[in-house]
Structure 1
């Protein structure tokens, strides 16, 4: 049996219930989730041990009416771990008012988004990002989102965390960046600085992946001979479809997702130059068959191979391409597809992209920016940050004499960048011979063979140094472990002197590589500072501190050695590619190891067919097939991710939010977006729902009802949403029959509506049905005081005094001071007294 109390927001949150396990929760936040199992069992099933890892910051959307918070507090909290719960402001207020957030552990906080900045500062979110220990979860109420407030909150927090994670990784010099840099040593042969100033005074068009790219591409094709074209790698698919080969293509991202969205660039020919960061995803660089120029340093340690070079400027590839354009000497930079906002119907990228193929994005927050045309357009947190960084960069370049224009009126307005329509652009009258300029600048640059020799020398030197460091820290680890007595105190100071000597060697003889080891294993070293520990060091922990320190050193050195060894093997394989009679077994093994299957096409172009052993032709064919499979595979992780943002469940939540806030234009845009959804067979009920919402906001009740009836006639999808709106309209229009019918259906779908159905029966005069329905509802929620008061009033009005008295007694037993019940009992007493007097008079 479930007991209930009336909550402060009955219509939205539902009654505040207590289940058989004594757990209180708002019914409409969790519906039947806690009916048959306790919160402990349900949370154990949903989250397992994930919430109990040490040294983690768990960011959790929703608290399940405080049950998740109390579930955690009932157990020993893991050392160094914090919990940051986020609730919609109205829910947070209701939870506070009903004492559901009391006695919170200091390692927990429950906030509204207005307190986000302060809370993440107090909980040291940056430190947790440093050790890759920020976790994000949705409570069960946020996963279900019956009140249509959690979805946008979850989307917003996810974007903020993603942005903070990226910023922290860049600031920290994350291991992934260093690993990619070492991986790419074999292929980072030519520095981009070779082209510094090569295009002095000329005009370049920079193409990015925003929706406005679609309208710009025909113009670029028309004027191609008078333009130098820069393009970000993610639009390679669209450029190939337009038969438009850029002069330079850019990539900076080290992640595998970057390969997923950029792999079509591998189909460009030698007309295109690849400009990439030193840490770009290797599978793009090591399968590129044309000219490649790298940005930044070749090596993550001090080396003569780190010649002066142009740097990769973040946070986006557009920022990098813009900076390179300026350093190459261009003094007018035309931006196309650099929108940093989305179309009104939810498309985030140009046609042909994974995002566009997945359909309009529905998990947009309410964040908007002003466009060049003066209107407003939706955007995301990371785009908003990109707008800010682009404005800083543009103002700096403009002050240096660079004219930056954006040709899209629907792009975000950015300080330092002026809007200019395509028709108003004044282009140079003469063509620019990009290939001639590039070749003239590269003449005399290092030969591949010479570079590989130097790279091997440097890598082997680094390997020697790291091995020496590993040997020293092994010695230090052994000494440190032995020099403490059973009380955790140093027993032999000669051992301490030996450790001091080792430390001096690490700082003096191996200082550059020692710093790299620390940087590479920085997350382990940050943990040594114990910034999240909730207790003081014990004697035993102090004894172990040195061991942990040297273990971190050792592990960092081991990982670094593994990368260096792999890089040496890669350079040796590249040397084989220059040999007159290469060892193809080495080349094939390296290609498989690196998943650089596309190198087979370079070999076939470089070597005469007779040089390739017949016995290996089959393996080469397998590599080529593997390359084509990867290249043409559209069901990538990135595409799956994009489709998730276009799910119809997200649409339902977004439509509900827009209707609640009476956003007519945005609702119309949302309905329009469904015409382009990749699942046309499933969109009809969603189109009808939005049509109904729009009709309601226009006060056209007949049109709204027609739309909602389409949903009811169509089946199960959105049935509850449609019936609920029919009830509201019918009540407003005094259509008792329609309201009665819809509420009867709703009450079968969701017991929360039984009290509404009972009330409509009372108004309709079906008193017995109203009484039976109220009783059925109260059996489901026996302590809903508002429903019990209504039933008591109904009994009183119908002269069923004994039932009214029983209900009032029950109410006042649970809530002795309930004024409405006290007043009704006085009224009942007066009725009975008057009745008694009347009977006496008759007698």
Structure 2
């Protein structure tokens, strides 16, 4: 890409590069556009803003002029060519120390050197797109967005993973009784066996029948989100896996509760309690049971991010399977633009077309689209597969239409056969789980109860210590000039800190992990600032307030956990108090647990009162209705994401990238969407028009452009129509397009006047120049354009006057200087 245009000047006196921003700043001054678009987004204290694009330097100027928020930094990412133009205009001289600029290829190094990691720990990084990046008239911006988002998500995942599991500790506490059997019981128990992991990608449909046929020769491991589909076709897995703590995970996975109880539920310690607490079969948890350090608790199999499929593969490797097959692990769109298997909300709603993605090769060698999160998941899957090779375990993907990943080979299901006898894998799995008597379960719950009470007592003690330290911190700086007297408060704070790090070391660590965001907030981002007494006092205040607030939150959670544990203990009693159980189930919204308790209990149900019987019936009715309700939050979100917003610019970007495979896939997807979306037909024809240009089928391209409504013929289309008209020698059409483009922007005037000259309309061409110059007599671009027009017509004296006028308005203008050198080099008699 070459950005050789001169800066144009808007009617508000602001300079911009037309190729970058077109007419974005001609209707309103830039500051008004930025304030409307970003509102308060750029004003927040203690933020690390990553801004893609400078809008020809206007957004950079806007940020420089803002009042600096405390401890906030701005990192601009810009195209190298634009940076060069801005440097030439001296727009990058003496930027404030809290603002820097870099290129997309160097952003990570620049961000790290600029102190991004501390902000990332706090989750205080914010990505902002400039107007130029949003519009992406220059396709390089779109490519930069995708590159940044992919690299940032991967870097963020790795960086944030080091913080522990603070967002997951609350559901972990809720699951503390159900997290009874560690997945460690399955370690290396399946050496020599083969398993298949079924995920939610579209290729799942290709191998379902093969899996059903061989279900007694392989262990079937399914991710929870395909439970609805598996129930529909009557395929029951041996293991179902779920990891997400969020309620929306229940929306997409709740049909797993319909599986028979001999299915093993393998889950993270923080899986949503709506699934785990209502599961009626055996289960095993990954990671730690407790959110604090308990002896031996770390000895367990671990989950792996960022998706449930990563965890399923990691578990399969740890369980010892020699051959691990993948189906529905596409990590990319199908050729029709579908991301999920039939039966899912995503498949029912239709392709997600407007969301930006990257393009990958499948095992079949085709180029298809993938989402950034899929790319990150693929990298991690490849790492797990590479590690598995070291223990002679192999991972294979059954689908030729899946994204091709290193260390995972493709093998079609037709090439596989099994010589060993059928095996009852459900029994083998369940035999690994220790059988617990009622008294053993009660004992386990009592141990959990004791541990939670101990930690709760510690948290209350730590809160009191933090309150004392906070008071001492205030007293330390209260009276200026009385440091020797105040020093006793420093000694008091040191003693408290020592106690926190010794007597309460284990619980303090738990508190800091749980409240990591608050404790990191007490760390100062801007270490270059001078550490005044006020700043030292503020830092200490934030630190002890982090302790106090976190302790307050934990006291509430731990109290609730104790109530829940007591309810679970009540469930095991020979004569339980049903009112306690009813209240807890209703409070936790796990009414399905009632029916499963009835199925397992040895309590004489004939002793229940009519009111108690009625409560059980009411709970069962509500739970059944909930399981079969398809109008979920996830469905609503999926409908929103299936919007066609962004598809138009995506078509144009793929055209400029000459990505014919990707454009063809998008066209196929739009053809499907035409059945339900009227706008899809317009975009379908638009895609065919641009695709026809790439295949040099210009007559077809012209036909498809003509199918578009007039209001859909925008600047990009006029550019292409003008080019097609030249190739087809339809100069009347070319003239009409260039004339309309010249109205949109004077940058098209040189092309338009050149065509007019070719058509013999030189006087009309000159009139256009003179009219425009009369309206904007200091416009360097116009004077240069007029000079070049005269130069090409060998009117050298007039050309010289035009270029000299350009230089009088812009003494450093490169283009005018070059032409004047050419003119001065001409023989004197020309």
Q: TM-score, normalised by structure 2?
A: 0.88
Q: 1:792 to 1:437 in 2, by over 3 A?
A: closer
Q: 1:581 to 1:64 in 2, by over 3 A?
A: farther
Name the structure 2 match of 1:513. Answer: 507
Name the structure 2 match of 1:3. Answer: none
1:561 to 555, 560, 564: 555
- Matching of residue 539 in structure 1 with residue 498 in structure 2: no
1:175-574 correspondence to structure 2 within 5 Å: 175-303=166-294, 306=297, 308-356=299-347, 357-361=349-353, 363-369=355-361, 371-373=362-364, 377-445=368-436, 447=438, 448-484=441-477, 485-487=479-481, 489=483, 491-574=485-568
- Matching of residue 703 in structure 1 with residue 695 in structure 2: no
**Greater mean alpha carbon deviation, residues 599-608 or residues 392-401:** 599-608
**Greater mean alpha carbon deviation, residues 744-753 or residues 449-458:** 744-753
Contact kept? 1:360, 1:676, Cα under 8 Å: no
For 1:80 and 1:451, how far apart are their aligned partners in 2?
A: 49
The secondary structure found in structure 2 opposite 1:225 is coil
Name the structure 2 match of 1:71. Answer: 62
Contact kept? 1:192, 1:275, Cα under 8 Å: yes
For 1:486 and 1:725, how far apart are their aligned partners in 2?
A: 73
For 2:713 and 2:608, how far apart are their aligned partners in 1?
A: 66
For 2:461 and 2:273, how far apart are their aligned partners in 1?
A: 29
For 1:627 and 1:305, how far apart are their aligned partners in 2?
A: 39
Q: 1:822 to 1:287 in 2, by over 3 A?
A: same
Name the structure 1 match of 2:665. Answer: 669
Contact kept? 2:671, 2:681, Cα under 8 Å: no
**Greater mean alpha carbon deviation, residues 320-329 or residues 65-74:** 320-329
- Matching of residue 142 in structure 1 with residue 133 in structure 2: yes
Q: How many residues align?
A: 817
Deviation at 1:185, TM superposition (A): 1.0
Contact kept? 1:228, 1:432, Cα under 8 Å: no
List alignment gaps of at least 5 residues for structure 2: none
For 1:609 and 1:675, how far apart are their aligned partners in 2?
A: 61
Contact kept? 2:592, 2:619, Cα under 8 Å: no
List alignment gaps of at least 5 residues for structure 1: 1-6, 835-843
For 2:591 and 2:24, how far apart are their aligned partners in 1?
A: 50
The secondary structure found in structure 2 opposite 1:186 is coil
Contact kept? 1:368, 1:377, Cα under 8 Å: yes
For 1:166 and 1:796, how far apart are their aligned partners in 2?
A: 58
Contact kept? 1:754, 1:777, Cα under 8 Å: no
The secondary structure found in structure 1 opposite 2:399 is coil
1:694 to 685, 691, 694: 691
2:649 to 650, 653, 666: 653
Contact kept? 2:8, 2:15, Cα under 8 Å: yes
Contact kept? 1:58, 1:137, Cα under 8 Å: yes
Q: 1:264 to 1:166 in 2, by over 3 A?
A: farther
Deviation at 1:58, TM superposition (A): 0.6
Deviation at 1:547, TM superposition (A): 2.6
1:149-188 correspondence to structure 2 within 5 Å: 149-188=140-179
Q: 1:344 to 1:490 in 2, by over 3 A?
A: farther
1:786-805 correspondence to structure 2 within 5 Å: 786-791=781-786
Q: 1:763 to 1:225 in 2, by over 3 A?
A: same
The secondary structure found in structure 1 opposite 2:51 is strand
For 2:744 and 2:27, how far apart are their aligned partners in 1?
A: 18
Contact kept? 2:742, 2:748, Cα under 8 Å: yes
Deviation at 1:470, TM superposition (A): 0.8
Residues 358-414 of structure 1: CA distance to partner in whole angstroms, max 9, x if unpaired? 405454545535x44456555455444444433333233333243433322333444
Residues 430-486 of structure 1: CA distance to partner in whole angstroms, max 9, x if unpaired? 332233334433353364433322222221111111111111111222223223432
Deviation at 1:737, TM superposition (A): 0.9
Contact kept? 2:335, 2:668, Cα under 8 Å: no
Q: 1:22 to 1:616 in 2, by over 3 A?
A: farther
The secondary structure found in structure 2 opposite 1:224 is coil
Name the structure 2 match of 1:838. Answer: none
Residues 176-216 of structure 1: CA distance to partner in whole angstroms, max 9, x if unpaired? 02233223213212222334454453222111223322211
1:41-190 correspondence to structure 2 within 5 Å: 41-190=32-181
Name the structure 2 match of 1:19. Answer: 10
For 1:490 and 1:299, how far apart are their aligned partners in 2?
A: 45
Q: 1:500 to 1:812 in 2, by over 3 A?
A: closer
- Matching of residue 743 in structure 1 with residue 709 in structure 2: no
Q: 1:766 to 1:192 in 2, by over 3 A?
A: same
For 2:281 and 2:607, how far apart are their aligned partners in 1?
A: 24
**C-alpha RMSD of the superposition:** 3.8
For 1:180 and 1:373, how far apart are their aligned partners in 2?
A: 42
Q: TM-score, normalised by structure 1?
A: 0.86
Deviation at 1:260, TM superposition (A): 4.2
Contact kept? 2:359, 2:662, Cα under 8 Å: no
Q: 1:225 to 1:630 in 2, by over 3 A?
A: closer
Residues 732-752 of structure 1: CA distance to partner in whole angstroms, max 9, x if unpaired? 333211112333444566676
**Greater mean alpha carbon deviation, residues 498-507 or residues 164-173:** 498-507
Deviation at 1:609, TM superposition (A): 8.9
Contact kept? 2:193, 2:323, Cα under 8 Å: yes
For 1:380 and 1:488, how far apart are their aligned partners in 2?
A: 61
